[in-house]
Amino acid sequence: METLTEVVSKTPLLTGGSAEQKREEIRHYFHQTYTLYESLFDCINSDEAYYLRPEPLRHPLIFYFGHTAVFFINKLLLGKFQDGRLNERLESMFAIGVDEMSWDDLNSAHYDWPTVAETRAYRARVREVVDRLISEMPLTLPITQDSPAWIVLMGIEHERIHLETSSVIMRMLPLSYLNAQPLWAACAESGPAPQNSLLPVAGETLTLGKPAAAATYGWDNEYGQKAVAVPSFKVAKHLVSNGEFLAFVNAGGYGEPRFWTEEGRSWLSYTGATMPRFWSHRNGEYVQRNLLQEMPLPLDWPVEVNYLEAKAFCNWKAEQSGSHIRLPTEAEWTLLRNRLEADQPDWETAPGNINLEHFASSCPVNRFEHEGLFDVVGNVWQWTETPIDGFPGFDVHPLYDDFSTPTFDGRHNLFKGGSWISTGNEATRYSRYAFRRHFFQHAGFRYIESDSAEVPVEPVNTYETDALVAQYLEFHYGDHYFNVPNYPVACVQALMALAPSLNRGRALDLGCSVGRASFELARHFAQVDGIDFSARFIQHGFQLKESGQTRFAIPTEGELVEFKETSLEELGYAGLADRIDFVQGDACNLKPRFTGYDLVFCGNLIDRLYDPALFLSQVHERLNAGGYLVLTSPYTWLEDYTPKAKWLGGIKVNGENFTTLDGLKAALMERFELVGQQDIPFVIRETRRKFQHTLAEMTVWQLK
């Protein structure tokens, strides 16, 4: 490889006529990627540099040099496409712990790294193993996610991600450790910054998400579909240039807390930053560090900042202009991207500074134009307002189930469009990458002006990992086990059958937990209140009502989890959300306003109250005349919840066995008539193999 254009590659399609041709195409793509990755590391002129830590949030480069090779082996082993390890020590050391994709801060474990030579030799062995696998693997077209070819592509695309992230770390190494290389030559052009201006963009409704049948490899988070209505807005024709950003720096922007988010202020105070990460100020001049060299600050190149800095600039700009200046959302950016027909697998030449087709650095922001807009893709990544989240229909790949899920935490923002070194999947239309908002990559931004002060960003559906809450989410919204029907649904069906004269006005779902019975009741009642003592639980009912979906991770075995999600649409509750209110409250001390119900349903509540008799003595006040109280419970009394002196039954009274049903009758018979009684089973999954299987008793009581 001598020049960048020689290394330009296109992502192989999953489809095609000839499997053998596809096999060779994949082999070529593999070797080309592997070689390209090593050629980047060839810029390092001293093995010592492999062990430095220019970025304290990252491993030293030796890790990344080994890591992309080890990844092939570990995933192939996991997929049973490979027998046995090549090198247990390296495959452990280069795998565990810190990975940008799992976003952990570096732990302080001591790493006894191998030599560069040993690592290089290991890489060579992996190259042979993968090459042989490519020769031998069964291959039919199109390639699907369970095919060994998919795992090979996963390894290749994973290495292409690290080509970029490693280049960012190298950009932080002292220059003395690096040799300039013809292959990795920076753009030579620079000049004064162009004047930026705003262009109008017509709003429209568009659909986000990569189609399942798309012809290129995709990461889990790209798939699914989400329709978004985007109002009209105005967009800056250029990415923000160093020159434009310098005005913010010169205006004292880094010292003015009001422009910064709370997170931004924390970051400023922690780092003491006064300018972008790759700038420095020497002898009265600003200098920019590129991959392998420095240059006087190129004012017409895009500024490279993290999200927090980009957001502060927008807030400053908004104050200056008196308008709603901010970053685009993912949907707004996509609307701009949709103007470009071309996509990486198909284009003849990249329509921007991307895919290593033009430079091994940024270039002026006024060089690549499309319909008046510059740098729609390429040059630097463009931060968005949108924290990454899965689209409805999201599902993890079983061999890489933690690629995206840890980033669905509301703290990782998407950037879009790719940089000069974004290749492979990174350079495709649907690619979605997200980093913590304080991270640096080859990333900058473009701003927009909105008519509204509100930023149209939805809260992220984080994965519920609290084991008990997740257990209840699976119980309410997950799979059936042992052929036992969904319990909240079965309860509502049973009570509707046992109380046929029920009025269908207002229902109270008391002890609603994560809310399934409330939704099911909303099929039958005009209005449903779901009340639970625990905000941890009720927030999921609320989230389903508000966002239409919720996510959770349930244990499979030991610490391993399975990722699940559910949506109102899937559940058949679309359109019912408006009938339901979820409120936190105490059944034994309910606010007076919760009254006038035709039904009070208490699913698995009565044996979890601290004073069930008190509750039963007052519950009639909540009901309309002729209203129904429905209790279901397995009568599992536990001192953790109910002091023994307050148990309704399951005790000796006057020396005799006194059951909870005896206790319910004693407590309710004066005001209620027992009109129905039925056993209803339920199953709560604890792990893939362990379940609670319980038989609740439903009793239906009508107010006399």
**Contact positions toward a copy of itself, by CB under 8 A?**
70, 74-75, 77-78, 91-92, 95-97, 99, 102, 401-402, 482, 556-560, 634-637, 644, 647, 649-657, 659-660, 683, 686-687, 689-697
Residue 387 pairs in a beta bridge with 413
Would you state the structure tokens that stand for residue 137, as one six-digit string? Answer: 């693997």
Least distance between a copy of itself and beta carbon 601 (Å): 19
- Residue of 312, 346, 306 whose CA lies nearest to 10: 346
Least distance between a copy of itself and beta carbon 651 (Å): 5
Least distance between a copy of itself and beta carbon 81 (Å): 13
How many angstroms separate the CA atoms of 411 and 603, rounded? Answer: 36
Least distance between a copy of itself and beta carbon 45 (Å): 31
Q: Which is nearer to a copy of itself, 458 or 697 (CB)?
A: 697
Least distance between a copy of itself and beta carbon 135 (Å): 25
How many angstroms separate the CA atoms of 196 and 314, rounded? Answer: 13
Q: Which is nearer to a copy of itself, 115 or 556 (CB)?
A: 556
3-state secondary structure 173-215: CCHHHECCCHHHCCCCCCCCCCCCCEEEECCEEEEECECCCCC
Would you state the structure tokens that stand for residue 662, as one six-digit string? Answer: 């005896």
Q: Which is nearer to a copy of itself, 64 or 637 (CB)?
A: 637
Measured over all CA atoms, what is the biggest interatomic distance in the chain, rounded to whole angstroms?
96
Least distance between a copy of itself and beta carbon 91 (Å): 6
Q: What is the DSSP string of 264-332?
A: HHHHHHHH---S-TTEEEETTEEEEE-SS-EEE--TTSBP---HHHHHHHHHHHHHHHTSEEEPPPHHH
Q: Which is nearer to a copy of itself, 456 or 634 (CB)?
A: 634
* Contact between 682 and 471 (Cβ < 8 Å): no
Q: Which is nearer to a copy of itself, 53 or 693 (CB)?
A: 693
Cβ atoms within 10 A of the Cβ of 586, count?
13
* Contact between 515 and 544 (Cβ < 8 Å): yes
Q: Which is nearer to a copy of itself, 235 or 399 (CB)?
A: 399
- CA dist 280 → 190, 261, 295, 437, 484 (Å): 18, 24, 10, 21, 66
Burial class (CB in 10 A: 0-12, 13-18, 19+), 565: buried
How many angstroms separate the CA atoms of 156 and 428, rounded? Answer: 15
Q: Which is nearer to a copy of itself, 194 or 634 (CB)?
A: 634
Residues belonging to the chain: 704
Least distance between a copy of itself and beta carbon 146 (Å): 16
Q: Which is nearer to a copy of itself, 92 or 207 (CB)?
A: 92
Q: Which is nearer to a copy of itself, 39 or 636 (CB)?
A: 636
Least distance between a copy of itself and beta carbon 692 (Å): 6
Q: Which is nearer to a copy of itself, 97 or 456 (CB)?
A: 97
* Contact between 523 and 571 (Cβ < 8 Å): no
Q: Which is nearer to a copy of itself, 74 or 362 (CB)?
A: 74
Least distance between a copy of itself and beta carbon 571 (Å): 25
Q: Which is nearer to a copy of itself, 35 or 687 (CB)?
A: 687
Would you state the structure tokens that stand for residue 133, as one six-digit string? Answer: 């696998």
How many angstroms separate the CA atoms of 344 and 11, rounded? Answer: 7
Q: Which is nearer to a copy of itself, 160 or 397 (CB)?
A: 397
Least distance between a copy of itself and beta carbon 485 (Å): 15
- Which of left, alpha, beta for 182 (phi over 0: left; psi -120 to 50: alpha)? alpha
Helical packing angle, 535-547 and 467-477, nearest 10°: 50
Least distance between a copy of itself and beta carbon 643 (Å): 12
β-strands 623-633, 597-603: how paired?
A: parallel
* Contact between 495 and 601 (Cβ < 8 Å): yes
Q: Which is nearer to a copy of itself, 85 or 411 (CB)?
A: 85
Least distance between a copy of itself and beta carbon 94 (Å): 9
How many angstroms separate the CA atoms of 558 and 554, rounded? Answer: 11
Would you state the structure tokens that stand for residue 213, as one six-digit string? Answer: 């049948």
Least distance between a copy of itself and beta carbon 125 (Å): 17
Least distance between a copy of itself and beta carbon 637 (Å): 4
Handedness of CA 252, 257, 262, 267 (dihedral sign): positive
Helical packing angle, 19-41 and 61-78, nearest 10°: 160
* Contact between 35 and 48 (Cβ < 8 Å): no
